[in-house]
Amino acid sequence: MKRTVFFVSESTGITAETLGNSLLSQFEDVDFERVYTPYVNTAETARELVRLFDGIYAQDGQPPIVLGTMLNEEVRAVLQQGACIYVELYETFVGPLSEILGVAPSRKTGQSHAISRESSYARRIDAINFAVANDDGVRPENFGRADLILTGVSRSGKTPTCLYLATHFGLYAANYPLTEEDFERDDLPEPLRLNSQKLFGLTIDAERLHQIRVERRPGGSYASLDRCRSELRQAQRMFTRLGIPVLDTTSHSIEEISSRIRLALKYRTG
């Protein structure tokens, strides 16, 4: 069973997509066809969209569902009059919140993803640049400036997690790959030891790591299952000995791991 869903917004559409996709995940058995249409901010653009609805209705045998975050009543009304089932995700809460706060809403569109809160926006941009510049342990002298440092064996998920933490939360995230050298020394290099309170270890299932490494660099000892097992075991031993909290990227997404790290950092720093 196929169902077409439009995510419609006056601005970037990030709110509509995030909440909308989260809601659709409640209905796993439905085969959703997702259509993202940001920047629908004039009645004319809305009318263009409405023209699509009829074709989709005929094709699917059911009207498309529109998940909207539309503050502009005129533009919203155009959509609502089209051949669709319109669900408003945003306006629903603006009135009640306004009453709770005793303040009228500004009704300005796209505020939350605009460059509005200057300092936090600038911090996020800096954090992304920091994460890219400090990927793969290339500048240990910068560990002091990091909010956190991820460590783990090659391809355990450090880079994507660092970038998510930076992009989403504005955290300065560096990472350091554990290699044979660290295992032979059975200790971390000094710049890391000096920042041990910032460390989080990443681990991953050996079979999964083997798969990932084979895709990246097939053949050779780097990708062999034995090598993966041995590295992961040595890394785990080091994490345990040094009291580094460990997160598993096999079963947890970068969003889940990042949320847990942010929570842990909050409690660490008080």
Q: Interaction with a second copy in 158-197: which residues (CB under 8 A)?
A: 159-160, 163-164, 166-168
Q: What residues from 123 to 142 belong to the interface with a second copy (CB under 8 A)? A: 124-125, 128-129, 131-132, 135
Q: Using the rule CB under 8 A, which residue among 2, 51, 113, 237 binds a second copy?
A: 113
- Minimum distance, C-beta of residue 21 to a second copy, in the bound complex (Å): 5
Q: If binding is defined by CB under 8 A, does position 61 make contact with a second copy?
A: no
CB closer to a second copy, 5 vs 244: 5
The sign of the torsion formed by the CA atoms of 131, 135, 140, 141 equals negative
> To the nearest whole angstrom, how small is the minimum distance from the Cβ of residue 203 to a second copy?
15
Closest to 229 measured CA to CA, from 251, 213, 243: 213
Sign of CA dihedral 165, 265, 145, 232: negative
Output the smallest distance, CB 237 to a second copy, in A: 27
Spatial separation of the C-alpha atoms in residues 193 and 183, rounded to whole Å: 14
Please identify which residue in 65, 214, 225, 242 interacts with a second copy, judged by CB under 8 A. 65
Q: Answer for the pair 220, 213: CB distance below 8 angstroms, yes or no.
A: no
Site for a second copy in 73-112 (CB under 8 A): 85, 87, 89-90, 92-94, 96-98, 100-101, 103, 105-108, 110-112
Sheet holding 2-9, edge to edge: 31-37, 2-9, 65-69, 85-88
Helix-, strand-, coil-residue percentages of the chain, each rounded to 5: 55, 15, 30
Count of residues binding a second copy (CB under 8 A)? Answer: 75
Q: How far is the CB of 157 from a second copy (least distance, A)?
A: 8
Helix (H) or strand (E) holding 152: strand 148-153
Could you say whether residue 115 binds a second copy (CB under 8 A)? yes
Please give the residues from 209 up to 268 whose contact with a second copy meets the rule CB under 8 A. 251-256, 258-260, 262-263, 266
Longest CA span, the chain: 70
